[in-house]
Structures are given as structure tokens and as C-alpha cells.
Amino acid sequence: MADQLEASVTLPSDPVSVAAARRYAAQVLSDWGLPEDADTADTVRLVVSELATNSVQHTFGQSPTFTVDLRLEREEWLRVGVTDSHPRWPRRLPAAVQQDNGRGMVIIRWLAAEAGGRLSVSPTEDGGKTVWLALPWPPMG
């Protein structure tokens, strides 16, 4: 296998794109040999859903698209990223505000920790950001 496999898709910043992003990620993982019922596949589908939803909801129409990137690095790390062009980075909301929304990043941080992975945010050249989740590969479950 190559040192790195990469796949990405750019979708309109619209709520219907969240399901498309989730399906795309699931298909890529399947193509890379990850069983659909593996815990890591579930984790990635949930992470992509949460990050894509955040991108659609919190860019306030200022990012017309978002991009989902998947990278398998040396069969050691799976990196999942969602990029948008809005400059505001995700932030943790106070618990009182998290009643109905704002839990996405909390869920993603918990999933990252549970899977032995890590979460990071990096700036893009156009002033936006990519939220990355790195997970160990091969997955244990």
C-alpha cells in the first residue's frame, strides 16, 4: 500500500450535504478495507456528521462549501478533516448553553480520547480552518 491514501469531497454548505458527507466517508473507509460494522467506521461517520453539521450551522452562510478530507498515513493513522472558509474556530460553550446545541465538539473530543486519537484545528490559507481528528490504524474494533 502507498505511504498515504487520500480522498476528499467538497459539498455545498447545506444541511442535506451532511448525510452525503457521511456516506462518502463510509464508502472511502470501505474501499480502504475497513468493515462497515467496525467501531472506527461508526466513529468516523459520527465525527463527519458532527463536523459537517458544525460547518453548515456555524459559518452563517459565509462558507458556501465545506470539504471532507480522509487520509490514511502509512497504515498508522487515519486523519479525518472538515474544512470551511469561515474564520471562527470552534469553541467550547459553557455547560448552561449546551442544553440544546454546542455539544458537537464535546462529543468529538470524547470520541477521540476513547479511540486513542487526537483532535486539532489548523488554519487554511484563505483564512478558514480545518478541524482534524486523527485515529490509530489499524483500528482495534
Cis geometry, peptide bond prior to residue 64 (ω within 30 degrees of 0): no
Q: Is residue 91 pLDDT above 80, yes or no? A: no
Q: Whole-prediction pTM value? A: 0.86
Question: What pLDDT, in 10s, does the model give residues 2-32?
Answer: 688 999 999 999 999 999 999 999 999 999 9
* C-alpha dist (Å) from residue 73 to 2, 41, 58, 79, 99: 9, 17, 30, 8, 37
Distance CA 7, CA 68 (A): 8
pLDDT value of position 141? 46
pLDDT value of position 108? 86
| Average pLDDT of the residues in 62-68 | 92
